[in-house]
A and B are shown apart, each in its own frame.
Chain A
Amino acid sequence: MTTNYYNLSPETKKRSDLDKSLDRGFIWLTKIFALAIAAILLWIAFQVGTSALPAIQQFGLDFLIKSDWNPVNDNYGVLPAIYGTIVSSLIGLLIAVPIGVGTAILLSENFLPSQVRLVLVFLVELLAAIPSVVYGVWGIFVLIPILTDLGKWLHNSLGWIPLFNSPPTGPGMLPAGVILAIMTLPIITAISRDALISLPPSLRQAALGLGATRWETIFKVLIPAAFSGIVSAVMLALGRAMGETMAVTMLIGNSNNIKISLLAPSNTISSLLANQFSEASGLQVSALMYAALVLFLLTLLVNILAEFIVMRVQRL
């Protein structure tokens, strides 16, 4: 006896309703989770915003330009912290950008055998994996003593420059800036290197073929071509530096004053939060939330700008 396969019509294996609804349900489920990610971002803004509302009503935009922080008579201003956030990040970038871009060039061009290059890329990435609190501990016990000696020398010999006009106290703007440089270096190196590597080889060949030296090629052809990629690397690093908390809190000295001197202690928004949040109550919590909102908006702005630059680069 033989089975007649030809009479088995396709309709005999019709999909059951359960299968169909399972399928549709699954797609909906994944969609909800995907949209949840965007929702979380809005939720964070909403949550921080509503918690900050009492302080926003109390102080308005004056909050941004006042510089006292006084829990006793509930008077708060966040200017020193904004100043510290921006200045410490800029010091970090000032050190990290040249070294990071230089390292990216070293690791993207054929200066080294490719095996060595891979190991170095991996080592630089490991820098990013070390927890920030460990950088903080290392900074307290190793970096600060070194920088205090350097600071004494700077103060004694160059004290007439406003940047060095206070004697070093140990923690301060300079150690915080140096630790931020170390922590942002891997981001700058990794993204700049990606930008340099993804340039078409014909660019290099054409420049070298015209008789340019290796560094003329790098400066006049490769860096201009990868410029937007490098800029977005710097922006992402800036965002990271502004939000960095633990290492900075442990090294910056947490003094709520604006001093031009790099050797004086200072404060950042994130270290203000880290120091005061768990002991705050009442309007102080709201003021801290307001400060958090300012930090959130600052980093959001920087990150969105970086994203747009990356997107524009990818479309090219």
Chain B
Amino acid sequence: MTSLFPQNSLTRSPTSPRTLFNTVMTVLAFICGALALVPLLAVLSYVLFKGFSSLSLNVFTQLPPAPFSQGGGFGNAILGTLLMVGIGAVFSIPTGVLAAIYLTEFSDGRIARGVRFATNVLSGVPSIIAGVFAYGIVVLTLTKLNLGSYSALGGGFALAILMLPIIVRTTDEALQLVSQDLRQAALGLGATNFQTVIQVVLPAALPAIVTGSTLAIARASGETAPLIFTALFSSFWPNGLLKPTASLAVLVYNFAISPFPSWQSLAWAASLILVLMVLITSIIARWATRQKA
């Protein structure tokens, strides 16, 4: 028996204006997706290609060469970056974690909402403003005290300001995901708030906190603007926290806009190392969180 229901009533004609519009828009969406990926591939392939061709072992162990001589490296900038990111981490990780503990564990709604709002606004503050701020706080103070001026300390301080909101936000989210049962169990056994947080809640959230801190460190190691006038640059090995200090990012900036081919090729090698550092840490961090979830 054939159905009384017309066979074709549920399929749209492919030539009707509505379906045509649908098809055109789908094609456009795919074009948008492709356009979004073009710059990533273009930047990555170019940096890999140019960077690898000027990479050598010397790059890690030697100092920058004079403008017209060949060879040399930027060992001092790698060390300086690690140094300043380290200072930033020392300032910002404890501060950020403690602040986030207050937000999730102890605060009433109003203060928490205000501080979370401030954190989000702080994460939108341009990095160059953080640099100007660190200049005023650290560089000018050191100059006044005759202890120095442009320094690793100033650079580290600026990076700490930029890392802080990332750490607060990720720790805050990680602590909120810790099950309420754990806290109740600990408190029910007679633990104090301090013991509960330090021995039960923090260990449970530790992987996510480490991930967040890693991402903050990755972000900070690529920052340039705040370092231009807090740490400045130096062609020598780092020599104390109160002296001008080289960093990879500033080296890339200085050498890329210089007219000397040997410096430009070092800038590409430094870009490659910077990109690899940042990409590998973010990939590991993301992979670690996905494993846990």
Contact = CB atoms under 8 A, between A and B. Distances in A.
Contacts of A106: 29-30, 32-33
B34 to A, nearest CB: 9
Contact of B128 (A125, A137, A245): A245
Nearest to B136: A47
B126 A299 contact: yes
Contacts of A243: 124-129
Contacts of A214: 22, 26
B84 interface: no
A236 B32 contact: no
Chain A interface SS verdict (over half): helix
A245 to B, nearest CB: 4
A161 B133 CA distance: 42
Contacts of B42: 138, 142
Contact of A274 (B47, B112, B128, B133): B128
B206 interface: no
Interface string B202-246: 000000000000000011011111001100100000000000000
B164 A37 contact: yes
Interface stretch (B61-69, B176-184, B191-199): B191-199
A295 interface: yes
A127 B40 CA distance: 6
Given A137-B271, A296-B129, A41 B121 contact: yes
A27 B99 contact: no
Chain B interface SS verdict (over half): helix
Interface of A: 13, 15, 19-20, 22-23, 26-27, 29-31, 33-38, 40-41, 43-44, 47-48, 51, 98-103, 105-107, 111, 120, 122-127, 129-138, 140-142, 182, 185, 189, 213-216, 218, 236, 239-240, 242-246, 250, 270, 273-274, 277-278, 288-289, 292, 295-296, 299-300, 302-304, 306-307
30 contacts: A23-B192, A31-B102, A33-B98, A34-B112, A35-B115, A99-B32, A100-B32, A106-B32, A107-B33, A111-B30, A131-B249, A132-B222, A133-B222, A133-B252, A133-B271, A134-B47, A136-B256, A138-B46, A138-B47, A185-B39, A215-B26, A216-B18, A240-B124, A243-B124, A246-B225, A270-B126, A274-B228, A277-B132, A277-B135, A292-B132
